[in-house]
Structure 1
Amino acid sequence: MSDDPRLRGPRGSARVPSSGRASGTYRSGQVGGPPPPPTRGTAYGRGGQRPPRKGGGVKPRWGRIALVAGLVLSLAAAAAGIGIYSYANGLNDDMSRVDAFAALVGDRPVDEVDGDMNVLVVGSDSRDPDNPTGGGNARTDTIMMLHIPSDHSKAYIVSIPRDLYVSVPTDAQGNGGEDAKINAAFAWGGVPLLISTVENYTNVRIDHFVEIDFAGLKDVVDALGGVDMKVDDTIESIHKPYRTFEKGMNHFNGAEALDYVRQRYQLPKGDFDRMKNQQKLIKAIMNQATSAGVMTDPGKLDAFLQTVIKAVTVDENFSLLDVAIQFRGLGAENLVFLTSPNTGTGQSPSGESIVVSDDALAGDLYMKMRLDSMADWVAANPDAVK
């Protein structure tokens, strides 16, 4: 791997001792040779300021399009369709905010390219029937990296498996500092530690943060009058009222859609299939939100926008108005869905099931994201596109 810091791959992919592939345990250096050593240390503390952007410039307002990964290209299109500044400002003021970056200081990835934008999107679900603790914001099973290129032609959404085994840095409170599944960072240190963990693994600088309450998506789907989703294989839900989801195209209401994207145990590829179904739901919501039936109905449009606002939390610098007015043209056809490259499941040293990073392929993907060349990576890896 090159010594050029721009060309380094994942920096914090955890190394699992070699003990044989047959049992599913990762063999260090198995794919693409050994990666750079994990980056550790306390790089984050309270009261720090974000380093200035390269060249001291401000990125274009396109960057505020974070919610595309969580519904929001459709939201931008809808708000712009209304054409009322005061209304859009009111929506922006009503959005829940989190101080996602103030606690991050020190050795963060360099911002290589002007005009692109990288957004960390997470999905939390405090009412998930699979969550016996009712963990609220201490749990996130959906982690996505959204990359908006500087030419604004596409939106790339990379799903990161919740069980991906990585090095979690130590935060100012002493949380982390060990190898673990990536979603443990959110449970241990909240948004800042998750951001630091993702940056440590990908070597990509995060510009915005969006959290989606998946339980809140029920109301979003209902406000749209339901969504159309394709079911790959007939399955029965493991949650009450034990719905049967028939193979083929289905029209789901909110409860049905949320139930379907929660399924994993009876799916052939478990969490990987669940990630794919969550991506399908995002696309289905965007398709329905930008349809004539919603855009030409002021009541339905307002209900949709209001429910989206209640379902998301964004960082303090996120501006909905900029998105709504300037970037209403993108639609579901402009989304490219990917999964962070991995070699499948394995075992941690303690014996728990994990997802093992494909360091060589992931390193190349995140290098292209960092250098704003995602189209090149997709062209070279067409089978990776969902």
Structure 2
Amino acid sequence: MDAQSAPEPVAEEPKRRRPRWRRIALVSFLVLALIGGGGLVAGGLYYRSVESDIDRVDAFDGIPAESRPEVVATGAMNIMLLGSDSRDPDNTSGSRTDTIILAHLPADRSSAQLISIPRDTWVNVPRSAQGRGGRDAKINAAYAWGGVPLMVQTVEKFTGVRVDHVTIVDFSGFKEIVDALGGVEIDVEKGFTSRHSLTPDGRREFTAGRQTMDGAAALDFARERYAFADGDFARIRHQQQVIKAILDKAASGGTLTSPTRLNSFVRATADSVAVDESMSLVDFAMELRHLRGGNLTFLTCPTKGTGMIGNESVVLADKPKADKLFDAVRLDTVPEILAAAK
């Protein structure tokens, strides 16, 4: 079927063992793994008991082995982070992913590069085991047509990068995470009005400048796209800002030094995150316990902007630049990753 064909109807959301992952933001995983590591070293047995309650997903079930990219850089790790915004007025079915991030962890674990892939990026979606897909579409359609495994297949086909692990959470959980930290500092580049706010009248005014945001304000800031000419690109930038602000606040705001706060924080995140069957958050966190917000670089897959394909507004990847970026990821050459993303 060609790229101009009518879109397939959206399937019902694939069933999961438990729905608790919906309650917390994508950043929960990052904070638990990257920031919680300090506490995990001292309390390994306790945190392993916490990990036993984390939801698991069959992220790689049914993916043909021959279709997957080869591992090139031994020791590096690539994690696909999927998030949805259940409060998004456009997300009525709950079966599409609003946020797709490929997180690259170099073999030396000295840094991390988080590459956002716009949800409307026009790609080829492989055919799922259920016979869905097998044509060009927006990248987030893969989740609706074949759940996490087809999303893995689609991202691997588009990037050429092998996905080692997957985690899924809900961006609306920003509110709980930020409030648990006592607010975060955000630099608003340009004032705007959110008309899909959590306030009673659905409006929130943001003024330019650095300011402290509570959970509701941070969520409104991270999810708004209609107020900007570049729409979802602005939302990606704001999500990245909030993730970094949360990581920095968690590292500097006493979370690590207060057993009570760390316990509450880790318990809340562990109750809300879903990861693939083989991932150990405890081991992962211990590996990355030295990372902080300053070691993270947030990037966006190179694009040529937006365009129309049929009656769909889509994001058009800049394939030569994107291929160069993901080649660097595959080879685990961090300087080239950073250069290719410019």
Alignment TM-score > 0.5, same fold:
yes
Query: How many angstroms does 1:16 deviate by?
Result: 6.7
Q: Per the alignment, in what secondary structure is the counterpart of residue 94 of structure 1? A: coil
CA distance in structure 2 between the aligned counterparts of 1:256 and 1:292, rounded to whole angstroms: 19
| 1:366 corresponds to 2:323 | no
Q: Where do residues 49-198 of structure 1 align in structure 2 (5 Å cutoff)?
A: 70-76=27-33, 77-81=35-39, 83-105=42-64, 106-131=66-91, 133=92, 135-136=93-94, 138-198=95-155
Partner of 2:12: none
| Match runs of 1:18-57 below 5 Å | none
Unaligned stretches of 5+ residues in structure 1:
1-13, 18-68
Name the CA distance, whole Å, in 1 between partners of 2:220 and 2:90: 11
Contact 1:120–1:210 (Cα < 8 Å) also in 2:
yes
1:233, distance to aligned residue in structure 2 (A): 1.1
CA distance, structure 1, for counterparts of residue 299 and residue 285 of structure 2: 25
**Equivalent pair of 1:125/1:139 in contact (CA under 8 Å):** no
What TM-score comes out, normalization by structure 1 length?
Answer: 0.77
CA RMSD between the two structures: 2.0
Whether the aligned pair in 2 keeps the contact of 1:73 and 1:331 (CA below 8 Å) is no
Deviations, residues 256-276 of structure 1 (Å, cap 9, x unaligned) = 111111100112321001001
**Residues 70 and 121, structure 1, Cα contact 8 Å, conserved in 2:** no
Q: Tell me the residue number matched to 1:310.
A: 271
**Superposition deviation, residue 312 in structure 1:** 1.9
**3-state secondary structure, aligned to 1:169:** strand
SS at match of 2:129: coil
- Alignment of 1:213 onto 2:167: no
Largest Rg, 1 or 2: 1
| 1:260 aligns to 2:260 (yes or no) | no
Deviations 1:28-66 (A, max 9, x none): xxxxxxxxxxxxxxxxxxxxxxxxxxxxxxxxxxxxxxx
Match 2:302 to one of 298, 322, 341: 341
Letter in 1 for 2:45: S
Gaps of 5+ in 2: 5-25
**How much identity, in percent, do the aligned residues show?**
46
After the TM superposition, which parts of structure 1 deviate over 3 Å for at least 4 consecutive aligned residues?
14-17, 69-74
Relative to the length of structure 2, the TM-score reads 0.87
Task: Report the counterpart of residue 233 of structure 1 in structure 2.
Answer: 190
Match of 1:326 in 2: 287
